[in-house]
Amino acid sequence: MARTTRTPKADPTRPFYAAVGGVDVAVKYARTGLSDVQSRLSKTDLEPKAIAEQGRTLVLTRVEDLQKEIATIPSRFEATLNAFVADLNETVGDLNKQYTDLAVRGRTLVGRVRGQAATQQLKTEATQTASKARTTATQAKKSAGAAKKSAGAAKGSAKATGTSAKKTASAAAKATRDAADKTGA
């Protein structure tokens, strides 16, 4: 499957979320740094000069560690973002494949239903019913002038139309049952 790389649209909220994430990282390191300082302080000498030197060394070391960690954040963020984009592209590809498969399946089903004998019979019956209905309408118009003479013909034509409509309804029901039998196969 060929993958296309798309440049994501610029998200105006991205800088805000990045800033919040940065603050979260800083708070995390501040909390762990504070507990680390407290544990080391309890082990240290309580003389002011020793405390100051140990504190300064501890703070400088922690600042250096934080600077190194901050320097790796963009690359880690980019790697995570690239992984998410790859997963998203794969998901979109899978959805497109499923959509295509469903379309092919639907086209096949419609072709089978259109080609079945019951559907063809329904089409023929519907055409005959429409033709007889037009004949009935024409004869009814003609009979308006010669009411007694043509009334019998119009009545017979109307009866034939009704019979044809019943046959059409029966054929439609059969076609529907046959189509339902093919659905889901």
User: Model confidence at 90, in pLDDT bands (50, 70, 90)?
Assistant: very high
Q: Considering only 36-50, 62-76, 119-133, which range has the smallest mean pLDDT?
A: 36-50
Show Cβ contacts of residue 135 under 8 Å, excluding neighbours closer than 6 positions: 157, 161
Q: Which residues contact 132 (CB under 8 A, 6 or more apart)?
A: 157, 160, 161, 164
**Higher confidence at residue 173 or residue 78?**
78
Q: What is the pLDDT of residues 130-157, one digit of tens each?
A: 888 888 888 877 777 666 555 566 677 7
- DSSP SS3 for 183: coil
24 vs 21: CA distance, rounded Å: 5
* Residue 3 main-chain phi, psi, to 5 deg: -110, 140
Q: Output the CA–CA distances (angstroms, integers) from residue 156 to 94, 124, 127, 140, in the order listed.
A: 61, 21, 19, 11
Does this model's pTM top 0.85? Answer: no
